[in-house]
Amino acid sequence: MDAHAMDTLPDFFSPDVLLRHVSHTLSFYFPRCVDPRGGFFHHFRDDGTVYDRRARHLLSSAGFVSVFARSWRHFRDPDHQALVRHGLDFLRRVHRNPDTGGYRWVLEWDGAGARALDDDNHCRALACVLLAYAHAVDAGVEEARAWVHETFELMEERFWEPEHGLYADRASGDWSRLAPCRSQMANLHACEALLAAYRATSHLTYLHRAELVARHITRRQAARAGGMVWEHYRQDWQPDWDGAQLDKGRSYQPGHFAQWSKLLLQLESHGAHLGGPRDWLLPNAQDLYASAMRLAWDARHGGLHAGFAPDGMVCDADKIHWVQAETLAASALLGARTGAERYWVDYERLWRFCWQHMIDHEHGAWYRILGADKRRYSDEKSPAGKVDRETMGACYDILPALARHARR
């Protein structure tokens, strides 16, 4: 980013600024992401060049449906609604296994047929599929309403563990084997998708399941892991600390703290329909957010580190796009909910970091990952799994918070 642009930061409290940013981000993907043979391309370099035209990942296939469904709701571009249907067709026709009801995790697609590279069933992936169907309903695709119910029932049948009140993590492609590992991330994505399913259908079952999952992860499971959300658990849902050596996947992840903070506040906004006590939602949201900022904020370079160890030391110093985006949304929602100025201070300083370092103002979209010193590791801006769903989604989530803040 040039020096002039760095000196002329926009007003991050302006809804128009955020919507223009969403449009610019979306312009990186559309129309180059569209594969007329089916689905979307998933691998983009910094300048938008597609560097792999065959590999398809379920997270990206579902993610693009959510991206274009939400963009249609805000911008009403009929091309975007058509792309929702284009993406749904690929999910149903290519990723979904009609014999098992599951969804293939990774495919190789040549336009005529698909070869499964990994056909395991992941609860996290089913949650992203459920999220895509829910957003599609909100975008006017009525046939997706039945698929919301179908996917929820599949998650319940194959992954729900009533004795723990949480979802298991992964199963084989034929559902014959359930992996012994458990994770909070599968449940985080399930909670997000269930909230979207409730908003799309008004069915209280989805809202109540979302609340139960959130309560068990952010209260019971957090109590087992130092008051914070640990990533990995054993089959009995006790923390799997995996010995003394931590790697990037075996650490506390502040981005997930922020995401849970946001989800807890969104749950609270539906309070009248939750049916139980809600006084724990705001304090938990504040505590998780405070832990993320206290232990992961980089006072030297700005932005949030990706992971820290149980002793509080940073063990993954990278800056990852979704971590910053989810924290932006959490800070705005907390600022709007509480009226406390400190959250808006965080909001502005995090936007400044993202605007100056994480966002490609020339080509569009966010860089996926930066080192601690803000340098990029490669020119792979959006490999499989990244479609900027979180970064654009954060802007959509922030908009009502800004409206509430402006009314104070």
Cβ atoms < 10 Å from Cβ of 112: 7
The predicted structure's pLDDT at residue 248: 52
Q: What band does 249 get if pLDDT is binned at 50, 70 and 90?
A: low
**What would the pLDDT profile of 170-179 be if each residue is shown by its tens digit?**
999 999 999 9
Identify the CATH assignment for 33-240 out of 1.10.1380.10, 3.90.1490.10, 1.50.10.10, 1.10.3720.10: 1.50.10.10
Q: Does residue 258 contact residue 322 with C-beta atoms inside 8 Å? A: no
The predicted structure's pLDDT at residue 6: 53
Mean residue pLDDT across the chain: 95
Q: What band does 276 get if pLDDT is binned at 50, 70 and 90?
A: confident
Q: What band does 242 get if pLDDT is binned at 50, 70 and 90?
A: confident
Cβ atoms < 10 Å from Cβ of 315: 18
The predicted structure's pLDDT at residue 275: 78
Pair type for strands 106-109 and 55-57: antiparallel
Name the residue among 193, 69, 67, 176 with its Cα closest to residue 131: 193
| Beta-bridge mates of residue 56 | 107
As a whole-number percent, the residues of the chain with pLDDT over 70 amount to 96
Q: What band does 246 get if pLDDT is binned at 50, 70 and 90?
A: very low
In whole angstroms, how far apart are CA 349 and each of 12, 211, 217, 345?
A: 10, 31, 29, 6
| pLDDT of 3 strictly over 80 | no
| pLDDT of 311 strictly over 50 | yes
Determine which of 48-62, 261-275, 323-337 has the lowest per-residue pLDDT on average. 261-275
| pLDDT of 245 strictly over 60 | no
Q: Does residue 111 contact residue 90 with C-beta atoms inside 8 Å? A: no
Any idea which residue has 């089959």 for tokens? 235
The predicted structure's pLDDT at residue 199: 98
Radius of gyration of the chain (CA): 20
The predicted structure's pLDDT at residue 332: 98
Q: What band does 2 get if pLDDT is binned at 50, 70 and 90?
A: very low
Q: Does residue 95 contact residue 101 with C-beta atoms inside 8 Å? A: no
Query: Quick one: how many helices (H) and strands (E) in the chain?
Result: 14, 16
**What would the pLDDT profile of 366-389 be if each residue is shown by its tens digit?**
999 999 989 999 999 999 999 999
Q: What band does 205 get if pLDDT is binned at 50, 70 and 90?
A: very high
Distance CA 36, CA 82 (A): 12
Cβ atoms < 10 Å from Cβ of 16: 9
Question: How many CA atoms are closer than 13 Å to the CA of 50, on its beta-carbon side?
Answer: 16
Any idea which residue has 């760095």 for tokens? 6
Mean pLDDT of 154-168: 98
Domain spans of the chain, in order of start: 1-30+252-408, 33-240
Distance CA 386, CA 382 (A): 5
| pLDDT of 5 strictly over 80 | no
Name the residue among 381, 323, 317 with its Cα closest to residue 350: 323
**What would the pLDDT profile of 27-36 be if each residue is shown by its tens digit?**
999 999 999 9
The predicted model scores a pTM of 0.96
| pLDDT of 4 strictly over 50 | no
Q: What single string gives the DSSP state of each residue in 255-322? A: HHHHHHHHHHHHHHTTGGGT-S--TTHHHHHHHHHHHHHHHHB-TTT-SB-SEE-TTS-EEE--EEHH
Q: Could you tell me which residues come within 8 angstroms of residue 241 by beta carbon, excluding any fewer than 6 positions away?
A: 230, 250, 310
The enclosing H or E element of 268 equals: helix 254-268
* Matching fold, domains 1-30+252-408 and 33-240: yes
Distance CA 404, CA 408 (A): 7
Q: Does residue 321 contact residue 368 with C-beta atoms inside 8 Å? A: yes
Task: Provide the 3-class DSSP secondary structure of residue 309.
Answer: coil
Task: Confirm or reject CATH 1.50.10.10 for domain 1-30+252-408, answering yes or no.
Answer: yes
Cβ atoms < 10 Å from Cβ of 7: 7
